[in-house]
Amino acid sequence: MSTTELIGSSPELAAVLEDVKAVAPTDCAVLIQGETGTGKELIARVIHESSDRRQHPCVVINCAALPAALVESELFGHERGAFTGAHSAHMGRFQVADRGTLFLDEIGELPMELQPKLLRAIQEQAFERLGSSRTIRVDVRIIAATNQNLGGLVEARQFRMDLYYRLNVFPITLPPLRDRTGDVPLLVHHFVRQYASRHRRFITHVPDDVMAAIAAYHWPGNVRELQNFIERAVVLTKGGELQAPVVELVSKRSAIPGVRTLADAERAHILSALRETNWMVGGPKGAAARLGLFRTTLIAKMRKLGISRETAAEWGPPAGSAGPLFRRARALGEIESAMEAGATSADSF
């Protein structure tokens, strides 16, 4: 793995990659900070694979995923009989990572009582297994990551200051996806190719309106959330044009200029899709397919939001503000009549 496998060309990502290139050849401890889903483990693996330790293991331990009672055993190992249920000796992650890299994910969750032992192991490259007095010496590079403010935890006396400074020799802060929106199209195309291959889909095109909706969303879950969204869109797609459920993304008010409520945003996006498909609801080129919805689901949303062809003009252009309140009873009646007559299979409203 190399920095060329990190997707993006934004200045924010470029600055991170410069730091990675600078620190990777060294044995310096690295602290990677960033929100959930920004790719902290990916950066840790790139640092390891770009170092002289790449022929040896990169061992990962998630400090938040293990019960506090098991963290010490997982880190340092234990001897047979060290505690109830220890029926055999167990090699800890520190020893497994000898001559390689130990990645301590979610380091802010490490119990306070274990932090002195971790500090000693990092400083002296030595430790004892649970139930043993024999010192084991290793050669391990440490990379830690957190989505918390460790400095704040230190001030709150929830994290040891000496351990914090030992880990924070070379800090790297990953930007959230909302601060590198120029990378979104590149990530979208990358994930489309990846999941189209995995799920045996032949997708050649991402519609402009779909890409615009994806780029406008704020992605609180960052790259991981985008990745999961694209995988679901690929699974839903039938044909060569990506059919993404972008209606879900209008929860952020600024996603569509001029909207005032969530209902306004959803209505504006559905109207946009209907106009672009000449009000064709069903079929492979209809609005439902473009929105990544079942035809019946789109019809239900139109009924709920009072959307019909005759009243669409009263809502104004797709990117503008909502128009005056229209005659909801009439619109609902038209949709219900169309459904009863079976006119909605692949036709227009």
Are 167 and 182 within one domain?
A: no
**Could you tell me what percent of the chain has a pLDDT over 90?**
52
Are 190 and 332 within one domain?
A: yes
Residue 344 has pLDDT above 80, yes or no: no
Are 37 and 161 within one domain?
A: yes
Distance of alpha carbon 261 from the chain centroid: 26
Are 201 and 323 within one domain?
A: yes
Please state the pTM of the whole predicted model.
Answer: 0.69
**Whole-angstrom distance, CA of residue 3 vs CA of residue 216:** 27
- Listed residues 146, 175, 204: the one ending a domain: 175
**Whole-angstrom distance, CA of residue 249 vs CA of residue 212:** 11
Are 18 and 162 within one domain?
A: yes
Q: Which residue has the tokens 């946009």?
A: 272
pLDDT of residue 330: 40
pLDDT digits (tens, 9 = 90+) for 26-73: 999 999 999 999 999 999 999 999 999 999 999 999 998 888 778 888
Residue numbers of the domain that contains 281: 178-340
Are 213 and 153 within one domain?
A: no
pLDDT digits (tens, 9 = 90+) for 290-302: 887 778 888 878 8
pLDDT of residue 129: 87
- For the chain, the first-to-last Cα distance in angstroms comes to 52
In a domain, 123, yes or no: yes
For the chain, the average pLDDT equals: 83
User: Domain total for the chain?
Assistant: 2
Are 184 and 169 within one domain?
A: no
CATH number of the domain where residue 282 is located: 1.10.8.60
Mean pLDDT of 11-19: 94
In a domain, 257, yes or no: yes
**Is residue 192 a contact partner of residue 16, using CB atoms and an 8 Å limit?**
no
Are 257 and 170 within one domain?
A: no
Out of 93-97, 138-142, 321-325, pick the least confident.
321-325
Pick from 263, 264, 251: nearest CA to 318: 264
Residue 336 has pLDDT above 50, yes or no: no
Are 160 and 37 within one domain?
A: yes
**Residue ranges of the alpha helices (H) in 24-132?**
40-49, 68-76, 93-96, 115-124
Mean pLDDT of 201-216: 91
Residue 335 has pLDDT above 70, yes or no: no
- Listed residues 156, 175, 194: the one ending a domain: 175
Residue 143, token pair as written in the block: 């990379």
